Amino acid sequence: MAFVDTVMTEDELCAWVALHSLDGIGAASLGRLLSRFGAARATLAATPAERESVPHVPAVILDGVPCAIARMADHARVAARLAHEHVLPLLRSAPAYPSRLNALASPPPLLYARGTLPADGRPTLGIVGTTEPSERGARVAATAAGRMAKAGWVIVSGHARGIDSDAHRGAFDAGGTTVLVLPTGILQFRPHEAYPPPDALARQATIVSEVHPEAVWATRAALARNRLIAAWSDALLVVECREKGGTLATLRHAASLRRRTFVVRFRRPSLSAAGNAVAEEMGAQPVHSIRELQRLLTQAPQSSSQPHLPWRTDP
């Protein structure tokens, strides 16, 4: 599905870029402002007193509005870059907005998106894990993604190095579809070497970001990104993870949203999978092979007499 139903004036897009430039702004504060004023331009056009009347919007955010308004030429430059790179704004009110994100307490009021958006009815599998996986973990992520992509599942991950990029690569290599949820601005996106050329990338991938288009990596945005991966996924697979970090945070979000959660159980876990046992303690269902994962995801009956085998990627 292309973004054919996304229509926004240049002035409104510039206003969105201005709002996203505010220090400390996030989905919750944006949502409160939009609920009060209805549009980004109207938010900027409101008087300071009117903006201050919106409850639960920190003063540090509102204090930055005059400066943001004074920099509209900069925001127009960013908006022009978005148009040049075929990035389109996807409002929450748009029919193409991914409905799964509405399960969040604070869905992004707007996503910057490029590529081809998969139909909302297609099943989605999030695949997450450490940025420093073992060779076995990388192979499992790519193979699982490829197998499920061939079965019609959309693979969702965060474009980080390691398990994320292995999952995206597996989906690409299988000719499947994948969603790349960025922690940075969409204009900061750079494809990894293993990704397909631009034309294929545009056909097979949706690249999305909820932050300022030129934003660099920041911990706060990366943590917020995790909730989008969890919400976009019907089910979440943890491949290898540390005992603390973003992977377990994503798992926590998925569990709170009542998504199905799975974790690879290796017979001899590497150090990069030290947190997999923690994931099981958090309620993720252990899986021992891709065949078992496929069976569980399709809810086919599973024989109780089947032995638990070490993780394997063969059929």
Please give the pLDDT value at position 5: 42
User: What are the structure tokens assigned to 95, written together?
Assistant: 């029919």
> Per residue in 34-59, pLDDT tens?
999 999 999 999 999 999 999 999 99
Over 60: is that where the pLDDT of 3 sits?
A: no
Least confident stretch, 53-67, 168-182, 227-241, 289-303? 289-303
User: What are the structure tokens assigned to 247, written together?
Assistant: 């992977």
Over 60: is that where the pLDDT of 73 sits?
A: yes
Domain spanning 124-297 has what CATH number?
A: 3.40.50.450
Sign of CA dihedral 223, 18, 88, 40: positive
Over 80: is that where the pLDDT of 7 sits?
A: no
Q: What's the mean pLDDT when you consider all of the chain? A: 93
Please give the pLDDT value at position 169: 98
| Beta strands at 154-157 and 124-128: parallel, antiparallel or unpaired | parallel
Over 90: is that where the pLDDT of 300 sits?
A: no
Q: What is the pTM of this model?
A: 0.92
Please give the pLDDT value at position 50: 98
Over 60: is that where the pLDDT of 312 sits?
A: no
Mean per-residue pLDDT, 120-136: 97
Over 70: is that where the pLDDT of 207 sits?
A: yes
> Per residue in 228-269, pLDDT tens?
999 999 999 999 999 999 999 999 999 999 999 999 999 999
Mean per-residue pLDDT, 110-125: 96
Domain definitions of the chain by residue range: 10-107, 124-297
| Cβ-based neighbours of 211, under 8 Å, separated by 6 or more | 20, 183, 184, 185, 221
Mean per-residue pLDDT, 8-32: 96
pLDDT: which is higher, 251 or 303: 251
> Per residue in 61-71, pLDDT tens?
999 999 999 99
Please give the pLDDT value at position 298: 86
Whole-number CA gyration radius for the chain: 20
Over 50: is that where the pLDDT of 305 sits?
A: no
